[in-house]
Every structure is written in C-alpha cells, then in structure tokens.
C-alpha cells in the first residue's frame, strides 16, 4: 500500500468501528427497555406469553378484566363489570364462592320494565325484589363487589327461594375442609328451634321436600329469564 493512501484507509476504518459501536449500543438499550414497554407490571416470569391486564381502569392492576374468572375470594372486577355466575348454573351462589363466576358487563333492566310472557305468575319477577331474603341478598352481593375476602374467613349469603323468601336451612360458607355453621329459619328469616342429627347434619322441617319443589321452580324461572334475555 502506498504511503499516500494510509491516512484515508485509517479514517474509513475508524468510521466503520464507530458506527458498529453506536449500532450495538442502541440495540442493547432497546432490549433493556423492550419488556417494560410491553408489560411494565408483569412479575411472573412464566406469564411472559400471557396478554397484559387492562391498565386503563383507573391505572390499577388489582382488578379483573372482562371475561376473566372471578368469585367471592378473588380480586374485584373492573369498573362497569360485575361477577356473575355462568349461564344455566344451577347453584349460582356456590359458583361465586368457588370462583367459577365470570366478569361481565352488567346491564340489568328493572323487573317492572321487562315484558313478561303469559304464565302462572305474571307479577312474580316484580315481587321478588321486595321479598325479605332477596332484599338482603342484593345488599350482601353489592358489598361483596367491593370486598376481597381472605380464604380463612367465612361469610353468609342468604339462601333464598324463587319467591325471594328464606329457605328453611341457612348456612355460612365453608372454611377449607370445615363445614360452615347452619341453622333453621322460617320464610321471613326468623330462627326456629332445631337439633343436629347424629351424623352432624341439620334437618329442618320439610327442607327436603322444599328443596325438590324449589329446584323445579328454579328451572322454570331460569328458562323464562333466559328466553327474555335472548339466551335461548
């Protein structure tokens, strides 16, 4: 190589090295910032492939998004959503206790505004909300939406029949393997004398016959409500 060409070659080589350093620096910085842009609040390394939660709800990550499973002992649903039992669930309260509910948009029409098809109980749906057990149930469920319960706590959710009155047997929720406390009441919720049997069960007068009758009524009412909402 001629002496006259030595300086241009060194200048060209220096330029190439500087470009490589700048490119590697920007690539490393992008790799460092990338994960935080995608999911700034992800803490579980195993959840890298999961879609991020909805961060638009009051900037909080302590709520459940629409369609996520929910229940009494889980996080609350996001604003505008409500934890509801799955469609055609025969034990809706049990489903919420077991975390088998679903966060969904709550757009409930007032019972007096819903068209009622001809049937044996034309005013049944309107009277339910005024019944004593149903009124307490609605109050309790509204409180559950704002509360996160610990697994070692038991709660009481009123056990109502299809008319909105109390069923003969009322129980608190179970705590792990320990069955919740139960007692007998009349249809207005007033406790009545009762005694547990030898196997630990509490037989309330006529509760078995009532359960069978109530289950039949619930199936009819549930099917009617599903038809009104267009689910069937």
CATH number of domain containing 163: 4.10.800.10
Q: Is residue 191 domain-shared with residue 139, that is, in the same domain?
A: yes
79 within a domain of the structure (yes/no): yes
Q: Is residue 132 domain-shared with residue 100, that is, in the same domain?
A: no
pLDDT tens figures, 112-140 = 333 444 444 434 556 778 899 988 888 88
Range of the domain at 70: 59-106
Q: Is residue 171 domain-shared with residue 206, that is, in the same domain?
A: yes
100 within a domain of the structure (yes/no): yes
Number of domains in the chain: 2
CATH number at residue 88: 4.10.40.20
The pTM for the full model equals 0.42
65 within a domain of the structure (yes/no): yes
Concatenate the DSSP letters of all residues of the chain into one string: --GGGHHHHHHHHHHHHHHHHHHHHHHHHHHHHHHHHH-TT---GGGTTSPPP---STT-SSEEPTT-EE-TTSPEEPTTEEEEPPTT-S-HHHHHHTT-EEEEE--PPPTTTS---SSS-TTHHHHHTTSHHHHHHHHHHHHHTT----TT---B---B-TTSSBPSEEEBPPBTTBPPPEEEB-TTS-B------TTS----TTHHHHHHHHHHHHHHHHHHHHHHTT--
pLDDT tens figures, 4-57 = 555 566 666 666 666 666 555 544 444 444 443 333 334 444 444 444 444 444
């Amino acid at each position: 190589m001629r002496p006259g060409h030595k300086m241009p070659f060194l200048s060209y080589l220096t330029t190439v090295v500087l470009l490589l350093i700048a490119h590697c620096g920007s690539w490393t910085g992008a790799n460092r910032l990338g994960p935080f842009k995608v999911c700034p609040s992800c803490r579980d390394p195993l959840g890298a492939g999961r879609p991020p939660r909805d961060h638009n709800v009051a900037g909080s990550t302590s709520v459940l998004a629409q369609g996520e499973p929910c229940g009494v002992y889980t996080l609350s649903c996001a604003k505008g959503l409500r934890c509801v039992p799955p469609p055609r669930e025969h034990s809706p309260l049990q489903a919420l206790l077991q975390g088998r509910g679903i966060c969904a948009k709550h757009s409930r029409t007032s019972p007096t505004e819903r068209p009622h098809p001809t049937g044996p109980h034309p005013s049944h749906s309107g009277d339910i909300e005024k019944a004593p057990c149903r009124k307490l149930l609605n109050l309790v469920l509204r409180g559950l939406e704002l509360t996160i319960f610990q697994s070692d706590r038991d709660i009481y959710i009123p056990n109502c029949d299809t008319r909105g009155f109390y069923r003969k047997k009322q129980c608190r929720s179970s705590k792990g393997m320990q069955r919740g406390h139960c007692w007998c009441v009349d249809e207005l919720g007033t406790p009545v004398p009762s005694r547990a049997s030898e196997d630990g069960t509490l037989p309330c007068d006529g509760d078995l016959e009532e359960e069978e009758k109530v289950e039949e009524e619930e199936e009819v009412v549930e099917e009617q409500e599903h038809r009104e909402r267009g689910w069937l």
